[in-house]
Chains A and B, each alone.
Chain A
């Protein structure tokens, strides 16, 4: 039947649509530092990274005073649609044809791992803020990559430990079925087992799942005390919201949200999100400097307050420019080496260092979401429960099996 054929064709078109939406002005001469912000700009991770990361990169360039210092910097951006093939294709074009010197952000660990390899092959720089998998500084570590903001090990260590200590010793995982979810589940499982807890079951759901009821019922039937959400963005908010509907918490089980951003909390609303415990490395309301940054940022990004990913992009780009200026070159491999050599210092993360395996280290924080009556208004959502000092916040450098470190 002709019509059925038309329909199927149309479906295929829709699924493929948007693949051409990456825009990148071509034909840049050298002598320009070209920064490519690559992330999800249209789907479930668009608010926690998306255009906000582009804004953060711009602010970093402006605040650094690049122009006054004689550095010509250009920023371009594209949407990888959470597809490793689309992301790789854009990265190759950026590096080969558009003379992009550094790619930043790249949430979605699947895409980030692909670009990690491409940047290494082509000797370009790759600054990761959005992606979470700790493999980027583990087995897949590269002399061209710095993993800036957080990783799955840090999340598992912070949140996992805190929850097991307060009695949550049996876990059931709801895991996003791709590199990130698998890494987060693996790292959390290790923390839970080490602390004396046990994992009684797990279920892996496709990325961008709307309905979690079936998975939640499985979690409910497992009788685990803690339901660990190894997912992010819209997947996390949907799971929590529907969990409330199915009476997960009333039934005596609790959620452990392993990765949640302030935009997710905003979207859930405090009545649903209150009491959640999570690990982050940045919160906008920490000190005067972060508050000032958040105010300027929100004005430029639809009132959204910066997530730790946005802050990480700002911080990473600032340090990158510092290294380029010191080196007077934008050669990817050399700049990354220089970045590891120089100590980091910026208004958002304070002073810090970058380890040989590419891990940027700073303290991590255990936050709890406020109750509605504790909050003074929109975006006033977190209270600090504990600070995890730098030395304990990230996986020890000798445990990641990173070839760059083992060789020594």
Chain B
């Protein structure tokens, strides 16, 4: 394999990694603060893509508006779920939250599949981002380049807000000791609700980004979520930077597998997960409890 091909596969891997990173970031944020393993994340990602599709079909609003509105709409739906259901589970074992969100995901996906079938619906690339750049070593679709840059910016911004700002320090403090933080006059339950909404919004944002690349398909989330959970396990739960770095890295690893041994490309991440769990059960970036 020549260097040209190597570079192009590296880049392709990074693009897929961008999706892994965005999704696992949302999961990490939610887990960090709510202690909920949000299995509905894949369904919420799918809903993001569908909201973009609806906006285009019914309201004539294009990609750029969808990029803003879809995460808000889906985030609000997430907030409803948090208020109505999840809130009741915080005192219980992780398993309950996991089962509830898994059930919610099945219901949402079932409804969409029933309504829209399994073949998927078309969503085109916005005109500003069509075409491709010849990078010398490869032919890079402009849209894919946009996805990498945009998600990297979102990931780093999220990291910055949580790790480096005052709001972030409240969030982190509330994770450690909610009672104490509340005693300082901070409305912890509302903060938790908004955080869940934000995490869900991140998933929806990834969905909008994915819509022009894949078909808008009710199954798009369930295909991805398993891999993303593996990414989270490898990176270590609750570590923000960990999920970003792991997301991109594993995308690249998967990309290379597609060249050297394509048949294994859908299993390689799980093999890595198994190895990481054996060697470092807390994940690569996780802290010991």
Contact = CB atoms under 8 A, between A and B. Distances in A.
B203 to A, nearest CB: 16
B12 to A, nearest CB: 5
B118 A50 contact: yes
Interface in A269-306: 269, 271-272, 302, 304
Contacts of B224: 210
A271 B220 CA distance: 22
A70 interface: no
A182 B237 CA distance: 40
Contact of B118 (A44, A210, A220): A44
A1 B215 contact: no
Contact of B117 (A14, A210, A220, A304): A304
A15 B267 CA distance: 13
B38 to A, nearest CB: 11
A267 to B, nearest CB: 4
A10 B118 contact: no
A220 B237 CA distance: 39
B111 to A, nearest CB: 13
Contact of B94 (A3, A44, A211): A3
A4 interface: yes
Interface stretch (A140-148, A232-240, A312-320): A232-240
Q: Is the interface of A mostly helix, strand, loop or mixed?
A: helix
B141 A215 contact: no
A177 interface: yes
Interface stretch (A243-251, A333-341, A370-378): A243-251
A80 to B, nearest CB: 14
Interface in B122-142: 122, 124-125, 132, 138-139, 141
Contact of A42 (B13, B113, B233): B113
A120 interface: no
B52 to A, nearest CB: 16
Interface stretch (B71-79, B152-160, B185-193, B275-283): B275-283
Nearest to A207: B266
A211 B215 CA distance: 11
A233 B217 CA distance: 12
Given A205-B262, A217-B12, A245-B125, A266 B119 contact: yes
Interface residues of A, number: 55
* Most chain B beta-carbon neighbours within 10 Å: one of A208, A209, A210, A241: A210
A3 B141 contact: no
A218 interface: yes
A177 B265 CA distance: 11
B134 to A, nearest CB: 10
Given A43-B219, A247-B132, A214 B94 contact: no
Contacts of B3: none
A4 B233 CA distance: 7
Nearest to B142: A245
Nearest to A303: B117
B281 A241 contact: no
Given A4-B283, A8-B233, A220-B139, A264 B119 contact: yes
Interface string A196-238: 0000000111101111011101101100000000000110011
Contacts of A42: 113, 118, 219
Nearest to A261: B119
Contacts of A206: 262-263, 265-266
A214 B95 contact: no
A263 interface: yes
Contacts of A210: 214, 220, 223-224
Interface string A42-53: 111111101000
Contacts of B54: none
A11 interface: yes
Contact of B223 (A208, A233, A267): A208
Contacts of B219: 42-44, 234
Given A47-B117, A206-B266, A15 B226 contact: yes
B229 A7 contact: yes
* Most chain A beta-carbon neighbours within 10 Å: one of B119, B232, B277, B282: B119
Given A43-B118, A43-B219, A217-B8, A245 B255 contact: no
A52 to B, nearest CB: 10
B118 A214 contact: no
Given A215-B262, A251-B139, A267 B119 contact: yes
B47 to A, nearest CB: 17
Given A241-B215, A245-B143, A11 B122 contact: no
Given A205-B265, A247-B139, A272-B122, 13 more contacts: A1-B289, A2-B289, A3-B237, A6-B94, A7-B37, A10-B95, A10-B98, A213-B15, A214-B262, A214-B265, A237-B215, A241-B122, A246-B139
Interface of B: 5, 8-9, 12-13, 15-16, 37, 39, 94-95, 98, 102, 113, 117-122, 124-125, 132, 138-139, 141, 143-144, 213-215, 217, 219-220, 223-224, 226, 229-230, 232-233, 237, 255, 258-259, 262-263, 265-266, 273, 277, 281-283, 286, 288-289
Closest 4 CB pairs of A and B: A267-B119, A214-B258, A46-B118, A269-B122
20 contacts: A1-B288, A2-B289, A3-B289, A8-B277, A10-B102, A44-B219, A204-B263, A205-B265, A206-B263, A208-B223, A213-B15, A214-B258, A214-B259, A215-B262, A234-B118, A234-B219, A241-B215, A245-B143, A267-B120, A271-B124
